[in-house]
Structure 1
Amino acid sequence: MVNILIERTAPLSPEEAWRRLTEWPRHGEVVPLTRVSVLTPPPTHEGTRFVARSGLGLLSVDDLMEVTVWRPPVDGEPGLCRIEKRGRIVRGWAEIEVRPGPGGRARVLWREDVSVRPLPGLADPALGAAARYVFGRAANRLLRTP
């Protein structure tokens, strides 16, 4: 299992940063070789399910996820979204926390705890490095693009 933490500060309100980070299909636009499909009707809420399909053809993996905590930022209070990864191959959880930061900016904490079956623990350093790169780049692009 790999634990990662990505921290960003963006020149956005917490509400706008939240909106950009939690529009699930947009994740497929910023993560290479990935398409995200939401399986439940909008708006997002606890119980929303979506799947990120990554790869090419037979070498694709489905990352089935369910939102288990949904508290958007309101009135200066931080927002928190927790997602449980419930696929057969990708397991773990992710949390996106958005809080007010310095100078009216948004402070983002993106935490992931992920394992990929059947990768052995020896692969964790490589998986961690790849995950930090992919999720860090995704956070940057999601926050930059309206």
Structure 2
Amino acid sequence: MPCIRIVRPCALAPAEAWMRLTDWERHGTAVPLTKTVVDTAPPTRVGTRFTARTGVGRLTLDDRMEVVRWEPPQPGRAGLVRLEKRGRAVRGWAEIEITALPAGGSEITWREDLRLPALPRLLDPTVAAVGHLLFSRALDRLLT
């Protein structure tokens, strides 16, 4: 199971970074060929479910997720959201942590444990490399 970890400093205050990174529909615009649909009523909280569908035509991959931890950043405390991946094709979890930097701005840590049951474990390093590239680009787009 490939584990991915991306750390990025950004100029945004933690609350603004949190709003951008937990706007699930925006994730669909940040990942090529992807549309994200939220299945539960707002606001986001523990229990919120959404699906990121990536692909073209009938060749698609659904990444169904559920928010299992929801702790927006507060003064003196980092923010953390944890998603459990609950689909057939994509399993694992993802976490986004946002920490205030002493000089201003934030540090974002994106962790992902990505499992694709249909692929042999031999391909884990390739999945990790592609995932790191994809999530790094998505993170950069979501923060701008």
Cα separation, 2, equivalents of 1:101 and 1:94: 22
- Pair 1:130-2:130 in alignment: yes
What is the TM-score of this pair, normalised by structure 2? Answer: 0.98
What is the TM-score of this pair, normalised by structure 1? Answer: 0.97
TM-superposed CA distance for 1:22, in Å, is 0.5
- Pair 1:29-2:29 in alignment: yes
The amino acid across from 1:116 in the alignment is L
Counterpart of 1:82?
Answer: 82
Question: Where in structure 1 do 4 or more consecutive aligned residues deviate above 4 Å?
Answer: none
Cα separation, 1, equivalents of 2:105 and 2:121: 38
Cα separation, 1, equivalents of 2:129 and 2:102: 29
TM-superposed CA distance for 1:59, in Å, is 1.3
Give 1:1-146 correspondences, 5 Å limit.
Answer: 1-144=1-144
TM-superposed CA distance for 1:66, in Å, is 0.1
Which segments of 5 or more consecutive residues in structure 1 lack a partner in the other structure? none
TM-superposed CA distance for 1:3, in Å, is 0.1
TM-superposed CA distance for 1:42, in Å, is 0.5
TM-superposed CA distance for 1:125, in Å, is 1.0
Q: SS in structure 2 opposite 1:55? A: strand
The amino acid across from 2:106 in the alignment is A
Cα separation, 2, equivalents of 1:91 and 1:6: 19
Cα separation, 1, equivalents of 2:102 and 2:6: 18
Q: Pairwise CA RMSD of aligned residues?
A: 0.7
TM-superposed CA distance for 1:129, in Å, is 0.6
How many pairs were matched up? 144
Q: SS in structure 1 opposite 2:58? A: helix
